Amino acid sequence: MASHNQVVGWIGLGSMGLAMAQNVQRYLQNTKSQLRFWNRTASRGAPLESLGAIGCESIAQLVAECDLIFMSTSDDAALNSIVDQILAVKDIDGKLFVDTTTVHPNTTKETDEKLKKRNASLVAAPVFGATPAAESGTVLMAMGGPSQAINEITPFVKGVIAREVMIVSDQPEKATLLKTLGNFIVAGAMEIVGEAHVLAEKSDLGTDMLEKLLELNFGMMYSSSKRMTQGVYLPKEGQAPQSSLNLGIKDVQHGISYAKDVGARLKVAEVALENMVRAKEFSDAHGGRPLDSSSGYGIIRQDAGLDFENTFVKERDSRKEDDSSQ
């Protein structure tokens, strides 16, 4: 069990961060402890407060009050801003920071070096899974960092935030590298499945038959397929995407960049990135409508002479229009 005297904090309450923080607060309730939290938009913390967590007015206050601090933010720039505010705190000796953000491995390495200079520790702990998995505590987490620090964190993670934890290395940046590779695999799978679905549709084989094959014989690709056939790639107006296209673009760019740094090339990622960037242009042309990271499928459709919207999306959105006219 975790120490009852340890004060835990959480910085960053996006959709993933809020879901994970709520699970940690529920766990802490069993130890008669309360999570401290901070978010740039304070109102995002209302669900946590209803569970008994305590809001902090600043990152400095949270860091001063806590021994173990989780961080969950959107990208490298946001993480760097948070770390700068942490480093401005006078005394962070012995504090342990856990970063669940998906960032470039070099960003993780730089963060680790900055914290080490102040006698603080970093564990990189990126997660695999979208918001629904974060809400149910069933994401997969990769961890990189000192073994003693990982042991200290584990009670708050396995069975609380994550269904399973992969211990990657004593070097934090190796955990974010593994996450980068995972993101590449997901993006590549969505590119391949999207192309296959378009061919099935254009050739009159039918997407239902292809999806059945994916379900019976290709495991992970079946979930990618459902994101397309069930319209997840193009959410309803006003509905948040399951996985943000903007963050997906960032993640794939990290993989391409890191591969270049070590003299390798991710050609499939380059193709996927091109389609994702073009999907972003589609979003911008439609009033900034939020798209899912699988929305490159819409571009593959357009390149084959089909509409960005598949039959499912058209029928779904037409039902909404019919309902609003009544």
Element (H, E) at 61: helix 59-65
- Contacts for 131 with CB less than 8 Å, ≥ 6 apart: 15, 16, 19, 242, 243
Distance CA 136, CA 274 (A): 33
Instruction: From the candidates 109, 174, 179, 250, give the one annotated as an active-site residue.
Output: 179
Tokens representing residue 252 in the block: 């794939």
Tokens representing residue 244 in the block: 């943000």
Q: Which amino acid is at 152?
A: E
* Strand duo 8-11 + 121-124: pairing: unpaired
Is residue 54 exposed (0-12), middle (13-18) or buried (19+ Cβ within 10 Å)? Answer: middle
DSSP string covering 250-296, please?
Answer: HHHHHHHHHHHHTT---HHHHHHHHHHHHHHHHHHHTTT---BTTTH
Element (H, E) at 225: helix 220-229
Tokens representing residue 242 in the block: 């399951």
DSSP string covering 67-127, please?
Answer: SEEEE--SSHHHHHHHHHHHHTSS--TT-EEEE-----HHHHHHHHHHHHTTT-EEEE--E
Distance CA 282, CA 43 (A): 31
Query: Is 179 among the residues known to form the active site?
Result: yes
Distance CA 291, CA 55 (A): 31
End-to-end CA distance of the chain: 57
Active-site annotation, residues:
179
